[in-house]
A and B are shown apart, each in its own frame.
Chain A
Amino acid sequence: MPVLTGKELRIVGFLCNWCSYGGADTAGIGRFNQPTDLRIIKVPCSGRIDPLFVVKALMNGADGVLVSGCHPRDCHYAEGNFYARRRLEIMHNFLPIIGYEPERFEYTWVSASEGQRWQQVVTSFTEQIHKLGPAPKILGPEASDTLSLMQAAL
């Protein structure tokens, strides 16, 4: 049941197995209302996220990407999220040069017990993406496939 009115957008979520996936589960068990735009991919650790996943997702049609891991100092593998934080922060700030709003990608920390926080994160991120609208899409193999439509839209 979409909390937000209007058309669903595509948001990809990469969640670590130990904290955030549990957090999302907790939110589900607690029957907290959440928007349904998010598609979750479980990964072992936020340190497993190659920041290029974010770009790949956007280029293949996602409108937003959310990464969530254990809180700093709580990483199951001790320091995976510390490395992740540096990498993801850099990618977040890099996005504008390609032509994506940096707000299309956020990373955060949600523990397995924080069902409420998870609901808060998903709802707020989904709202943020809806505010931005659909991400720029690549519509065909040649640039003209996309550019002609972009020009028409402008």
Chain B
Amino acid sequence: MTTTKHRVGEHLRDQGVSRRAFLKFCTASASLMALPPGLIPAMAAALEQARRPSVIWLSFQECTGCTESLTRSHAPTVEDLILEMISLDYHHTLQAAAGEAAEAAREQAMKDNFGKYLLIVDGSLPGPDANPGYSTIAGVSNYAMLMEAVEGAAAVIAVGTCAAFGGLPEAAPNPTGAVAVMDLIKNKPLVNVSGCPPVPMVITGVLAHYLAFGRLPERDAYHRPLAFFGQSIHDRCYRRPFYDKGLFAETFDDEGARAGWCLYRLGCKGPSTYNACATMRWNAGTSWPIEAGHPCLGCSEPRFWDAGSFYAPLSVPTDLSSSRILTAGAAGALVGGTVATLARRTVATAATSRQPVTADELEQTL
């Protein structure tokens, strides 16, 4: 991997990237970051001067889907360019080195760039109180490795819903005691790029932002970059006009489904899901789940595995049980019946023990 002394502009020029190409790259990056096109010149100037950071990528309890998403992203040139701009010093799936050599590279990069490197994590990890044996790398528990690596990190990027929120490993009953990265890291700048997997351009967009502006982007309550997670799927959905008109598909094969109507009734979690799918799309911008006719699962939200059926509408409670209602109703009828029976007895007693009024008694009051 190349030296980190270079500034991005010089580095790219050395790679034979022209000014127009650079401008085009900045345009693409701005589009990724959902920045207004008017900011492109300022961004170009900043990127020109940016330094290439060292990046350490740790993969814990994950499925490699996030890495797949990134490496199979539709714009290899741009991805290449962004990856050119960083120095990816450790990624145990992608790097050529293996075994002790790989771990040595990690140790070395951490030492050389202490306080300056960017730490990227995908996957959740067994928490400090859980059995560390559930997930180890080179005999080191995920927890120990994360805490060691975070020490010298300038910022942390949690990629994917597992790293961001615990994801599938953390779903009930959470056998491994999985926790999210943000549960463990409180004193470093952290950004969550959630999604299962995240939109690849969002990962690179966050990197580009970090490169261009030297800091993490603005984030929401869940530390997600607002540029990508600031609006819900529902708000950016091209099918929104159908929702507003009250036109819904009710099965996957009805007229409404064929006409591309809103998928709310088929369980779409778009209204409560914040992500960039609706504008960035997937597979080279070809399409995205809702355009393909499937409701949004809400994969970029916390606990989406435990939020009830993917196919139950958002308004339906997560843990429905009509027998529970019936039981409560029966218990209520029993209680009410008891109260009423006692009350009837009260009335009967009052009626029989009631002292009849006589004219003599009334006369006494006159």
A binds B: no
